Structure 1
Amino acid sequence: MRLVVYSIDTSGRRKGNIRVRYKKLVKIKKRVEKDDLTLTFQTKKDRACLLIRSISKKLSMSNRDSDHREDDLQSIILEQRRELMAAQALDSDLDFAFHLQLQEALAASLALQPSTSTSTSSIPEPHHTSTTTTENGGVSSFSVLQSDELEKLVQEVKDREASELEMRRVREDLNRRIHDEKFAREILRIPEDDWKEWGDNYEKPLPGEGCSKSKPVADNNNNDDDAVFRIYTKGLVSVEEIRGVKTALAGIGVAICDPNDNVIFQVRKPLVGNGMSKNAAEAKALIDGLNAAIALELKRVTVYFDYNPLYQFVSGRWPPKQRKIAVLVNQVTLLRKNFMYFNPKLVARNDVKFAFKLAKDAIVSQVTRPAESSHGNNLNEACVICLEDADVSRMFSVDGCLHRYCFSCMKQHVEVKLLHGMVPKCPHEGCKSELVVDSCRKFLPPKSIETMSQRIKEASIPVADKVYCPNPRCSELMSKSDILEYSKDFLDVERSGARKCVKCHGLFCIDCNVSWHSNMTCFTFKSLNPHPPAEDVKLKSLATRNLWRQCVKCNHMIELAEGCYHMTCRCGYEFCYNCGAEWKNKRAMCSCPLWDEDHIWLEQDRDFDEDDEDEDEDDEYYDSDSDYY
């Protein structure tokens, strides 16, 4: 540590001006901060960076040698802890040196004043602080954070060692139990005469604990893998109320039993974020059960579950329709290859009571934990769209289905749907729950709320009942039935087709959808005005030139930019873009081709297709949806 001592010249003339001496003191303080503190912080930052680079280098080197990885990790943790303590001590010493220099500067400045004006007791004593706080957090906050991370790492290592030790103990206990059961069966098969002759000397220790002194038994089976173990799995999804907010929670339970149905291993785990569907929760429970059986080195298992769709998926009778469920089922198929014998069975709910209780306890733990925790207000939840953790108060729950997503993802989802002229619904795949405008005020701006209300209003009115005000400055959407009731108070609607707009209060004809032509029938008006307005002529000309199509149900103009000829209008009507024929049940009612190559293959794709053909053959495809945790 470099201690900089600043001397103050007090032999100058006394001007009796405290302000002048105060300015000198400020300059001294600035000099101390400039010459010493800035260098100190820079030095400590460099030291922290060197520590991180050193640890990363040592970790990468330790990963190369798998035999000594645990010892290397422990030594790295100890070394980093020592260096961290040294850095904290250096930080504290530098802080103490600064306060000492500042005290000397104050004492020298006060010495210039008359003795009656000040007292030596007013000079603050230097205090030795353990940490230094800076405007941007400083290195002290970094050291505290690094210390916390070290503690977490040490705890994770201890937890992993304890888990491995417990798994090893369970595995040894299981092997001993299997050995004892087989040994008991062998004793029962020994004839009574043979038992009287040498039964007292018959023994069969576990492999590695001694040598067998028994005589060979003719029907003795030396294969330890003939026992069939039982795996009970259950995935639950439940709607619970946490702090007055209804939340969908999921949990899984797994019970592994021996052939006599004695529980030897249990798994109880909550599912956070993904896995909020019944199929996914059941599949993940099965995956965890198979992984636990593989860790116990079991080779012959029978899996019991009470959920029929999962049984059909695993047995291969039903192909999963959802892509994420298909990924989980494929993972189950890969895990099955680790077993010599794998038999799935569909049973009643009472037959999986072990796993059901574990899954229920996993859900209860999620409900009770926020209430017991002192930091319950900081409860986070993972959004299944962006996979980011968000505060539970920033999560939106869809009314009806209770699917939960963060405000940011919901805002983007709703705005995109509104941009395409559609009524936004729940983002969950296959969910038809519609969003409520009042609930969406939490994350939508007022302009989007207004647009959403308009879209919902448009969707609520049947296509045949829709009518727009012909005034170009109004264009208010109304239903024929509502405007009929509204106009009865002002007009004789029974004899004429006159209607009154509910917004601009202008009169128009409901039959020909133009401004009201008083004392003139619709036929006379059309005869006097045979040509449509110039705006309509321009629109039809533009639609003809660009080959636009008009929906026969809502008259909405549609343009095919790219893709196939199967068009779905915003009103829900499906038709063929080529001939206009309707699509029913996802099938075309015409013989037109499904697509045109010019609309499928873009020009830039043509240019790069031949150049990239060879490279694409060597590329590997990775599906990010496989990481469902």
Structure 2
Amino acid sequence: MEGQAAFSDGSSSSLVRGEMKLEEDEEDFRSCCEDEEVWKEIEEIVKEEPKEDLDEFSVKMFFKGMSIAEDGDSGSGFSGIGVVMERIEHVPVIQVQKKLDFYVDESVADYLALMDGLAEAMQNNIRRVYAFTDSELLYDQITNEEKLEVPLLIALRQRILEHASNLEAFVLKLSPCFDLERPLRLAQVAVGVVSFPANGSESRDNCSICCEDKMSPMMITMKCSHKFCSHCMKTYVDGKIQSSQVPIICPQLGCKYCISINECRTFLPLISYESLENALAEADILHSDRIYCPYPKLFCPA
């Protein structure tokens, strides 16, 4: 049975199952967040679990944070988050994709993914969120108030609960990792990770554009066999889109291979990929509007 916890408003007080238990870290929690009013509200918002009946104001939220260390345990690397919110049928999903400006542990990235997902949900007038995570640590700390000793996590949990208190219902569930493949992929693309290396592998490859040795998971091999890092390819493709130079040719000098849109999907963030689709569509329209002379030899001599 999957774990879960539910938060909802006080409109069904007769169905209350219990209040959130405050653990020994309550004083630290309050002193860190310094918001007694918000804390009092949170103490009252745990009620019976709502069902996952989606409507225009409800979503199923799948979120994931990911981090990849650049130099072993040196504390440097890349972190990103991905969120996918499913809505009722025929309504587009809501997606959040972000590369963090700093490297954090993956557990912290999970917190940030949930926090940003809830913020985005509220901006889209969502009132009920059914969230799914594969992090037992996050689940236990959000739902069971497990003892926390890290000030950053204490503060992030507070922010998450603040967002939850503004919703009619918030349900957090444990879910198998394969249910989170979509948000994980968003997070990977955000930081430039194309593939994961084998355990223990720290191999690097040279990028033909920046001429630097990059981690293998961040390298892309085109079908023409030329290899570049995902960061350089993103910059290259963005430049071509802005100048309307589509289809996009391989950046290798002398290569005439046209990079497929499916290849671009593996390394382009959502916004860049949508821009590429629009640019290709506009190019097709311009091409289709061309009128060719039916008598080129007569009226258009070479």
Whether TM exceeds 0.5 here: the answer is no
TM interval, shorter chain, is: 0.3 to 0.5
TM-score (norm 1): 0.22
Q: Which has the higher helix share?
A: 1
